[in-house]
Chain A
Amino acid sequence: MKILAMDSSGLVASVAFLEDEKIKGLININYQKTHSQTLLPMLDELLKTLGDSLDDVDYLACANGPGSFTGLRIGVATVKGLGLGLGKKVVEVSTLEALALNWQGVDGVVCPIMDARRSQVYTAAYIFEDQDAVPKEIIAPVNCTIDELFEKLAANGKKVFFTGDGVPVYREYIESNLKVPFVLPSAVNEYQNAANVAVLGKAYAMEGKAVDASLVTPVYLRKPQAEREREALLNAE
């Protein structure tokens, strides 16, 4: 099975090519250039280097959120265009679940945190019950404050393994406020990586979860500001 996967939900633009059990190719760019300019050229470069054709890919996979609204849409629009152009199905993978694979197999709770600005994070929590690629979700993806997250982690009590771009933002706060043992990531497992998306994409494709490209939808976990303000006004009346 061949899977072409991508993640542009955060600072990193990442594309990966999976063939059966192997990550055959991976390009990660974490540099200040817009994903709209980098993602497709990276994908083209990856395929050319591998000598693989897009036509031989079985499934496309994409991190569909949460994340930067614009970044998410660049990735999702790209995968929707590829899907329509190729007539191939797409596997949607949660950005948070893909991040959790940065700590695959550890004994404890894996907690991805993504900076959602406004003193909030996009987060979830997972455990690995066996060596299976798919982690088990114990806190569903949510947009909340870091304190709300800490309460849940403290209630669970287990050692926490953090990952995600929220770590550099909240590093000191975690160190001085979290009541349970924790491990912070290093440069190798802090950010999004399309290899993780490819691995989960394969697992979900085998479960029959691939969908038509037209159905792929970003998961924002947060309404647009104008909509939130309008609802607040309506509720106040």
Chain B
Amino acid sequence: MEDVYILAIESSCDETAAAVVKNGREILSNVIYSQIDLHTLYGGVVPEIASRKHIDKINQVVSKAIEDSKMELKDMSAVAVTYGPGLVGPLLVGVSFAKAMAYAAKLPVIGVHHIEGHICANYIANQELEPPFMCLVVSGGHTHLVKVADYGEYEILGRTEDDAAGEAFDKVARAIGLGYPGGPKIDRVSKSGNPEAIKFPRAKVGGSEYDFSFSGLKSAVLNYLNTASMNNEKIVTEDVAASFQQAVIDVLVGHSMEALDRYNFKKFAIAGGVASNSSLRAAFEEACAQKGVEFFLPPPILCTDNAAMIGSAAYYEYKRGTRSGLDLNAVPNLKLGER
């Protein structure tokens, strides 16, 4: 069978990324230009600033990815690009660029769903992983419990009804003065805090029994902080962070384990930026071990937004015959499984 080389581009939020992936599983290059320092000044990602940075950096990032792969553009089988979901301005830079470059190089283009990319990061990290399995995708923009029936076949079992898990981390981090980005900062200070110091709620919601809600938890943290400061009580930042983090983890692990029982999967994976959280990783490792379920997780570099994961997802689309037209557009609210 002929080898398939995908040059993939990702620009859905604040990382400009490009990668070359062989046969969906092997990274030949993986270049990420993170804009995080720029957005830290504003306490979050500013779409217009992100769009401007993407267009400044995209040629250098893509050229570097080609160079690092020791291949040439003409040797690629296809060009892949994230076309949603994400911020429309940043997405449009990647989509417009990728289509034009592929057109010039006479290569097919494959539009890739960002969340499918996150899930596929697991194929790169774990060569033996094959569907079916269940995957929890947790990031700054997404919280999805997904049934991966086959390559390219997804069914959402649960999703957040309000804030994404990562969004809640950012908001709570801001409220307790840790700043942006919240995920890694809460993870760090929680290590010296008591996760049982404050009893925050574990929300159950009305929709699917596997749906999530984090806005109530966020409000509970804010209320706790307000009440404590009004009563002149000492606020222990580490305890608030650890207790909040534990509440998020309990809900994510609890829903995932219930769904695993119900659907009888033997394999479970996590993905997305929040999957870098050390306590979350440890909690899932333990919960899966107790059930005798095989647990998969990508290294942190493949949890954050990257293009290698897009290249992996595109490989399976390529094999299915998926090809996008010259009129491929950015779709900021693209649904999982939609084509």
How many A-B contacts if CB must be within 8 Å? 109
Asked if A224 is at the interface of the complex by the 8 Å CB criterion, the answer is yes
**Interchain CA distance A36-B326 in the complex, whole Å:** 9
User: Could you tell me the distance between the alpha carbons of A76 and B99 in the complex, rounded to whole angstroms?
Assistant: 13
B249-283 interface mask toward A, CB cutoff 8 Å, 1 = contact, 0 = none? Answer: 00000000000000000000000000000000000
In the complex, A40 Cα to B41 Cα: how many Å? Answer: 36
- Contact call B52/A224, Cβ cutoff below 8 A: yes
- Give Cα A213 to B330, complex, Å: 22
Q: Bound complex: CA of A167 vs CA of B55, how far in Å?
A: 30
Partner of B58, one of A41, A77, A86: A77
**Interface 1/0s, chain A 216-233, versus B by CB < 8 A?**
011010001111001000
What sequence of 0s and 1s flags, for each residue 175-217 of chain A, a beta carbon within 8 Å of any chain B beta carbon? 0000000000000000000000000000000000000011001
Interface residues in B211-239 (C-beta closer than 8 Å to A): none
Verify B93–A77 contact, CB threshold 8 A.
yes
A49 contacts the other chain (CB 8 A): no
Chain B interface bracket (under 10, 10 to 19, 20 to 34, 35 or more):
35 or more
User: Is there contact, CB below 8 Å, between B59 and A213?
Assistant: yes
Return A74 CB to nearest CB of chain B, in Å: 5
Please determine whether B42 and A82 come into contact, CB atoms closer than 8 angstroms.
no
Q: Does A131 contact B (CB under 8 A)?
A: no
Is the Cβ of A40 less than 8 Å from the Cβ of B55? no
Known contacts A36-B330, A78-B96, A213-B59; is A84 also within 8 Å of B49 by CB?
no
- CB pair B60–A40 under 8 Å, yes or no, is no
In the assembled complex, the CB of A84 is this many whole angstroms from the nearest CB of chain B, namely 5
Cross-chain contact B327 with A80 (CB below 8 angstroms): no
Closest-CB distance, B42 to chain A (whole angstroms):
6
A34 CA / B95 CA spacing, docked (Å): 13
Q: Is the CB of A77 within 8 A of B327?
A: no
- Bound together, the chains give a CA A184 to CA B12 distance in angstroms of 42
Q: Are A85 and B105 closer than 8 Å at their CB atoms?
A: yes
Q: Which residues of B contact A217 (CB under 8 A)?
A: 55-56
What is the bound-complex CA distance between A63 and B51, given in angstroms?
A: 18
Chain A: interface residue total (CB-CB under 8 A): 35
A81 touching B92 by the CB < 8 A rule? no
**A84-B101 contact, Cβ under 8 Å, with A217-B56, A230-B41:** yes
Chain B residue at minimal CB-CB distance from A224: B48
A171 to B339, CA, bound (A): 45
Within 8 A of B (CB), among A22-63: 34, 36-41, 43-44, 54
The DSSP consensus for interface residues of chain B is helix
Query: A102 → chain B, closest Cβ, in Å?
Result: 26
For the complex, what is the distance from the CA of A78 to the CA of B104, rounded to whole Å?
Answer: 10
- B73 adjacent to chain A (CB < 8 Å): yes
A170 close to chain B: CB less than 8 A: no
- A66-84 interface with B by 8 A CB criterion: 69-70, 73-74, 76-84
List the A side residues contacting B73 at CB < 8 Å. 84-85
Residue among B49, B51, B104 facing the most chain A CB atoms (10 A cut-off) = B104
- Picked from B42, B48, B56, B96, the residue with its CB within 8 Å of the CB of A36 is B96
Which residues from chain B contact A40 at a C-beta distance below 8 Å? 96, 99-100, 103, 326-327
- Chain B residues, CB < 8 A from A83: 59
Evaluate contact between A226 and B48: CB separation under 8 angstroms: yes
B63 in the interface (beta carbon within 8 A): yes
Task: Decide: B103 and A44 in contact? CB cutoff 8 A.
Answer: yes
- List of 6 A-B pairs having minimum Cβ-Cβ separation, nearest first: A85-B104, A81-B100, A214-B59, A81-B101, A77-B96, A224-B48
* Residues of chain B at the chain A interface (Cβ within 8 Å): 41-42, 46, 48-49, 51-52, 55-56, 58-60, 62-63, 73, 88-89, 92-105, 325-327, 329-330
24 cross-chain CB contacts under 8 A: A34-B329, A37-B327, A40-B96, A40-B103, A40-B327, A70-B89, A73-B55, A74-B92, A80-B55, A80-B97, A81-B99, A82-B103, A85-B102, A85-B105, A86-B104, A213-B59, A218-B52, A220-B52, A224-B46, A224-B48, A224-B49, A224-B52, A226-B46, A230-B41
